[in-house]
């Protein structure tokens, strides 16, 4: 069952749930993945609702977003899903089918091919309209030494929110 919501109706929930993390889902040619993000959020850019996400170029998710140009965000509201967040935040698609390992039910997005996670309640479907790789020269040294000492860089994806809703698994 779907409950319609406005884009910013649960913006505070999004910010609160970024720590410990929320699920970023991707799909390309039948391969699906989810990973945990702790940076990003909902903004208005160019007069459009945008979900900003940062993905390291070393992640399998990076290749899926680059290929599909879309992603979904799934946020648990009823359960903290600590075990699943810990697993998906530390394991790679290269080694694990995270949907299978976490017993997640993928449900096709209403407007996009990328699935949502049925066990989560709050969802955003996003189409990439712009991306930018971080310029490491411009990153402050204290940030660079903490987050970029392994040479993996982030790309910031600007995902136009094309649908948002509460999904209750029946």
Provide the total of helices (H) and of strands (E) in the chain, helices listed first. Answer: 5, 10
∠ CA 149-14-56, rounded to 5°: 25
Q: Which long-range contacts (CB under 8 A, 24 or more apart) does 143-148 make?
A: none
Domain boundaries, the chain: 2-167
Distance from C-alpha of 18 to C-alpha of 12, rounded to nearest angstrom: 10
**Is 61 within 8 Å of 94 (Cβ atoms)?**
no
SS3 state at 84? helix
| Neighbour count for residue 127 (Cβ, 10 Å) | 17
Is residue 87 exposed (0-12), middle (13-18) or buried (19+ Cβ within 10 Å)? Answer: middle
SS3 state at 12? helix
pLDDT at 159: 98
Mean pLDDT of the chain: 95
- The string of pLDDT tens digits covering residues 2-32 is 999 999 999 999 999 999 999 999 999 999 9
- Residue 86 has which token pair? 């810990």
pLDDT at 169: 78
What is the percent of the chain where pLDDT is above 90? 92
pLDDT at 113: 96
Provide the H-helix boundaries in 92-168.
98-101, 141-147
pLDDT exceeds cutoff 90 at 152: no
- The string of pLDDT tens digits covering residues 91-106 is 999 999 999 999 999 9
pLDDT at 150: 78
Distance from C-alpha of 17 to C-alpha of 70, rounded to nearest angstrom: 21
| Neighbour count for residue 90 (Cβ, 10 Å) | 9
CATH architecture of the domain with residue range 2-167: Roll (2.30)
pLDDT exceeds cutoff 90 at 70: yes
Distance from C-alpha of 77 to C-alpha of 83, rounded to nearest angstrom: 15
Half-sphere exposure of 77 (CA within 13 A, CB side): 17
For the whole model, what pTM was predicted?
A: 0.96
pLDDT at 151: 76
- The string of pLDDT tens digits covering residues 157-166 is 999 999 999 9
pLDDT at 68: 98
- The string of pLDDT tens digits covering residues 103-146 is 999 999 999 999 999 999 999 999 999 999 999 999 999 998 99
Distance from C-alpha of 57 to C-alpha of 15, rounded to nearest angstrom: 24
**Token pair 């609702």 in the structure block, residue:** 49
């Amino acid at each position: 069952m779907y409950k319609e919501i406005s884009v910013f109706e649960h913006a505070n929930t999004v910010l609160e749930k970024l720590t410990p993390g929320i699920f970023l889902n991707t799909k390309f040619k039948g391969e699906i993945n989810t990973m945990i993000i702790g940076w990003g959020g909902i903004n208005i850019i160019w007069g459009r609702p945008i979900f900003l996400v940062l993905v390291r170029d070393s992640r399998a998710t990076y290749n899926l977003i680059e290929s599909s140009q879309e992603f979904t965000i799934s946020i648990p509201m009823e359960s903290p899903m600590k075990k699943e967040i810990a697993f998906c935040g530390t394991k790679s698609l290269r080694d694990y089918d995270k949907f299978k390992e976490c017993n997640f039910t993928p449900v096709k997005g209403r407007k996009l091919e990328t699935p949502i996670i049925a066990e989560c309640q709050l969802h955003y479907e996003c189409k990439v309209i712009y991306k930018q790789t971080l310029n490491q020269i411009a990153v402050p040294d204290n940030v660079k030494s903490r987050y970029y000492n392994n040479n993996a860089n982030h790309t910031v994806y600007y995902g136009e929110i094309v649908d948002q809703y509460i999904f209750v698994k029946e």
